Chains A and B, each alone.
Chain A
Amino acid sequence: MPTIFTVDPRSGIPLYLQLTEQIKRAIALGTLAPGEQLPTVKALALELTVNPNTVARVYRELERDGVIDTSPGRGSFVSAGKAGVESRRAIADVARAAFEGAVREAKSLGLSREETHELMTRSIARWYETENE
C-alpha cells in the first residue's frame, strides 16, 4: 500500500486523532476501498515512525466505530458489509469536524448566531447550486 497518511507528531493534536481522521477520510474518499487490507500495526508504525501503541489505539477505535474489521491472524480490513453506511458516517465525521471548527471560529470572532447562519447558508448555496447547474 502506498503511503497515504501523513501525521505531524509535533502538533498539539493527539497523534491517534490525526491518524483516525486520516483513515476515515481515505475511506470516505475511496482511497481505501471496502474490503481493502490495512497495513499491520507494526508496518504502519514503522512507515510513519510513530509508536505502535498509538497505531493500535487507532485501529481499536476504528474497529469500535465499525469502520474496519480486524480478525486475529488475518489482519485489518476496511469494513465490507456495512461499507456504505460506515463510509457515509466517516464522511459526515470529517465534515462535521470542519463545520464545528468553522462555527467555533465564527463565534469566537464575535459573529452573532444570525451572521454565522447567513455565512453558512451562502456557502451551501454557492457549492451545492454550482453542482446542480
Chain B
Amino acid sequence: MTAPLIALNGLTKRYGSFTAVDDVTFDVPEGSICGLLGPNGAGKTTTFKCLLGFVKPSAGTVAIQGAPVTPATFEELAYVPERASLYDNLTIGQHLTLYRRSYKHFDAARAAELLALFSLEEKQKAQRLSKGMRTAVALVLAFSIRPRVLILDEPSSGLDPIHQRHVLDLMIEAAANGAAVLFSSHQVGQVERAADSVAIMKRGKLIVSSVIDDLKSGEKIIEAVFAGPIPDLGDLAGDPRILRTEQTGSLLRVVTRDDNDAIAQRIFALHPKSIRTIDLNLEEIFMNAVSGDQH
C-alpha cells in the first residue's frame, strides 16, 4: 500500500490555553472522500489550516502525499476556503490566466467546461460576484489543476441545489480518478451521499472516524416495550457494544455501536412485549455523537 494522500497524526493546535485541535488522527487514502462534520467551533477550519501548512501545529504531524507540506505540495493540491479569496479587480478570465501560469497541470479546456457548468463567464469581474459565485469560481480553479488532493472547506455554501449537486459530482469524479478528497460541510446529507468515510469533530477532538456504511451497520436503536417495569439489564448495561441506554417507563431504548443483532437477541431474552431495531441515518448518528456528553 502507498501512503495515504492526506494523513494527520496526533495533530494538536493550541492558542494560549485554548486547544482548537486536540490529538486528531485520521487519513484519507487515494480514491477516497472523507466528510468532516462538526458544530461551529469544533476545529474543522484550524485542522485544514494545519494540513495546508498555514498554521504550525503545536504537536503531531500532517502529511500530504506522504510528505510534509512544502510549496511544491500545492502543484497537485487544491484548497477551497470557506470564503473564496479572489482578486476583486480581476475578471474570472484573468484568474484563469493566473492559474494557467502557476500550475503545471492546469487544464484550460476543463476550466471552460466547469465555468459553463456553474453558469459563469470569463468577463465577469470578481468584485461583482455573489458569495456563492465566488465559491463557484474557487471550485472551477481548484478542479482545473487536476489535483491529486482536494481540501474543501464548506464547498457548497451559497450555491443553489443544482450547483451543489455538481460539486458532489466533481468530488466523486476526482475520487474515481484516484484523488483524495477531504471536505467539511454542515449538510450531513451531502457527506452521506458523496463520502465513503466520515470524521466528526467536537470541541477540537475527533469523536467519530469511520467508514459511513460500517457506522450505519453498527449503530442502531433497539427499542423494547415491556409489559411492566423494565427488568434489570444485568451485565448488558456495561456492554462495550452499547453506546447508551435510555429508560422511560416500560420503554427501553438501547443505542448500539456494533453487533446489534446479538444485543437484540439478549434483550429479547428479557421477554419484552415487543422489540424492534431502528436504522439510523448519518444525521441521527451525528446528532447522537455531538450531543453525547451533554447530559
Contacts and interface: CB of A to CB of B under 8 A. Distances in A.
Interface of A: 9-17, 41-42, 45-46, 49-54, 57, 108-110
Contacts of A14: 212-214, 216-217
B196 A53 contact: yes
Contacts of A15: 212-213
Contacts, number: 74
Contacts of B280: 12
B192 A10 contact: yes
Given A12-B280, A13-B216, A16-B213, A108 B274 contact: yes
Nearest to B193: A9
Interface of B: 31-33, 165, 168-169, 172-173, 175-177, 189, 192-196, 212-214, 216-217, 220, 273-276, 278-284
B155 to A, nearest CB: 15
Contacts of A49: 165, 168-169, 172, 193-194
Given A12-B216, A42-B173, A108-B276, 17 more contacts: A10-B283, A11-B281, A12-B220, A12-B278, A12-B280, A12-B281, A13-B216, A13-B279, A14-B212, A16-B213, A42-B176, A46-B169, A50-B194, A51-B195, A53-B196, A54-B196, A110-B274
B172 A10 contact: no
Contacts of B169: 46, 49
B173 A46 contact: yes
Contacts of B165: 49
Nearest to A45: B172
Contacts of B32: 53
A62 B195 CA distance: 21
A50 B31 contact: no
Contacts of A57: 213
B184 to A, nearest CB: 16
A11 B194 CA distance: 14
A107 to B, nearest CB: 8
A110 B273 contact: yes
Contacts of B274: 108-110
Contacts of A10: 189, 192, 281-283
Given A9-B192, A15-B213, A16-B213, A50 B276 contact: no
A42 B176 CA distance: 6
Contacts of B176: 41-42, 45-46, 52
10 contacts: A10-B282, A12-B216, A14-B217, A15-B212, A45-B172, A46-B176, A52-B172, A53-B33, A53-B196, A108-B274
Contacts of A9: 189, 192-193
A50 B284 CA distance: 20
Contacts of B213: 14-17, 54, 57
Contacts of B212: 14-15
A54 B175 CA distance: 12
Contacts of B31: 52-53
A50 B172 contact: yes
Contacts of B283: 10
A12 B194 contact: no
A15 to B, nearest CB: 6
Nearest to A7: B193
Contacts of A11: 279, 281
Residue among A11, A46, A52, A109 facing the most chain B CB atoms (10 A cut-off): A52
Nearest to B171: A51
